[in-house]
Amino acid sequence: MMAELIGDPLGFTLAAYPWGEGGPLRDERGPDEWQREFLSDLGEEVRRNAFDGATPVAPIRRAVASGHGIGKTSLAAWLADWIMSTRPQARGTVTAMTFPQLETKTWPAIQHWTSLCLTSHWFDVSATLMYRRGARSTSFCAPQTSKEENAQAFSGQHARTSTSFYIFDEDSEIGQEVHRVAEGGLSDGEPMIFLFGNPTKRSGHFYEACFGAQRKRWHARSIDSRTSRFTNKTTIAEWAQIYGEDSDFFRVRVRGLPPAASEAQYIDSDRILEAQKRQVVVLPDEPLVAGCDLAWGGGDDNVIRFRRGLDARSIPLIRIKGEFTRDPQVLVNRLGDVLTREYDGRRVAMLFLDSAGIAGPVGSRLRALGHKNLQEVNFGAHSPDPKFRFFRDYMWGTMKEWLLAGAIDRDAQLEADLMGPGVRPDAQQRVWLESKEDMRKRGVDSPDDGDALCLTFAAPVGVPKKPRQHVQQPRSWMGV
């Protein structure tokens, strides 16, 4: 049975523990919704990789930033049991932010869930080691402290014909060196690494994996504690009343978002947070505008965002991974659909494309197909406003002012992107945003979502004219 679940961690979790059957799980019905989604997505990636036991596959990298109490540590234990039960010769390391966290919470959770597992009789689990009986030296999982001086304990873990895995619990404060050494164990076999934590700061490996420059290498998600069935909603309501929903305390411990950035950022945090809460009214004849920030393969995303007047929230964004668009025809087809379909009863009046990379051939092909409502935008062109150095700076400046009255969604990537760019010094005192390369150097990711939204401010768009309808006059019965 276990061999059949090698690519199905959700199926394993549902089958391996006695949900609702008495004992400590008698009142439990299985994983929470976010845990189910995590396990289901992980299973899809495992099946796509299709490890054959010999040829190495790409590492599985998954990270979860969240508020308190949603069940991250339990999920970590299920992952350890699933890997160890379905993969002979698997080798794992489990760590946490502090030794007390590891000793009293993370490792005891693995001991607890393994004792309930259908395969518990396969393993011996002590305070210092979990291993498969009869294979102590080749099939094991061990706790390790995350102190920088202990970083070398994370090296040398390889499983050429199986899975080498790492689980980092409460990862936000774990140092870069430990993560760097752990990367060495992801070079062969079917490697996996999982990061869990509260995003307590805007720097470090965990922040970069979930919100910063490394997020394209990770499958990362941010979970709001209010969406989990496990959390104490009364306590959360008290925190909201005492600290406020926009406070750093509430952002980190409930919303699963990092603390607000410093005042050095171009767009201030308060402006963004107010736009997330604001309700707006849109005039009936307000045109629908879309902005598309294009990628060319690799790690960056193709992002399409929509705006009608003050409303950039109602119509969901479209995100297309760069790796899926190495063929420009994929983008042509997707953008053609955007230009022809209706959103809430209206079509896109104008689509603005970042002109870098493949925008030229994509735009030309769309025009050849008859689409006229699109325009390429050169981020590096001169600004029409002397207060801004380049056209990208002008669009971001226009967007910054719009945020004082506009409405945006609570998407974590959009929020991080809008907070991301800083300002470079300019001899003429113009606004000059730092380059994407400079942002990456300080651990901040390319602002794909922010650039997509700023493109909707590239030029004024008039109210689209309704096509004239030919109304055939009815003939009288006399044929007059």
Query: How confident is the model at residue 477, as a pLDDT?
Result: 30
Query: How confident is the model at residue 472, as a pLDDT?
Result: 41
Higher pLDDT, residue 323 or 110: 110
> Whole-angstrom Cα distance, residue 439 to residue 417?
11
- Could you tell me the pLDDT band of residue 480, with boundaries at 50, 70 and 90? very low
For 94, list phi and psi in degrees, rounded to 5. -120, 130
Query: How confident is the model at residue 206, as a pLDDT?
Result: 94
The model's pTM is 0.65
Please check whether residue 86 is in contact with residue 13, taking contact to mean a CB–CB distance below 8 angstroms: no
End-to-end CA distance of the chain: 82
Please check whether residue 267 is in contact with residue 418, taking contact to mean a CB–CB distance below 8 angstroms: yes
Q: Measuring CA to CA, which residue among 146, 144, 135, 141 is closest to residue 117? A: 141
Whether the pLDDT of residue 243 is over 90: the answer is no
Structure confidence by residue, pLDDT tens digits, 414-443: 988 998 898 888 888 899 998 888 887 776
Task: Please compute the mean of the pLDDT values over residues 365-369 and round it to a whole number.
Answer: 92
Residues of the chain with CATH 3.40.50.300: 2-255
Partners of 309 in the β-ladder: none
Burial (Cβ within 10 Å: 0-12, 13-18, ≥19) of residue 115: exposed
Query: How confident is the model at residue 324, as a pLDDT?
Result: 62
Query: How confident is the model at residue 312, as a pLDDT?
Result: 98
Residues of the chain with CATH 3.30.420.240: 269-455
Structure confidence by residue, pLDDT tens digits, 170-229: 998 898 889 999 988 899 999 999 999 999 888 889 998 998 878 888 999 999 999 999
Structure confidence by residue, pLDDT tens digits, 217-239: 899 999 999 999 999 999 999 99
Categorise residue 297: left if φ over 0, alpha if ψ from -120 to 50, beta otherwise.
left
The angle, 0 to 180 degrees and rounded to 10, between the axes of the packed helices 412-419 and 269-277 is 150
Write down the CATH number for the domain with range 269-455. 3.30.420.240
Query: How confident is the model at residue 390, as a pLDDT?
Result: 96
Query: How confident is the model at residue 164, as a pLDDT?
Result: 96
Domain 2-255 homologous superfamily, CATH: P-loop containing nucleotide triphosphate hydrolases (3.40.50.300)
Who's near 61: CB < 8 A, 6+ residues apart? 192, 193, 209, 217, 218, 219
Structure tokens at 196: 């869990």
Structure confidence by residue, pLDDT tens digits, 106-125: 999 999 999 999 999 999 99
Query: How confident is the model at residue 203, as a pLDDT?
Result: 80
> Whole-angstrom Cα distance, residue 92 to residue 130?
9
> Whole-angstrom Cα distance, residue 188 to residue 319?
31
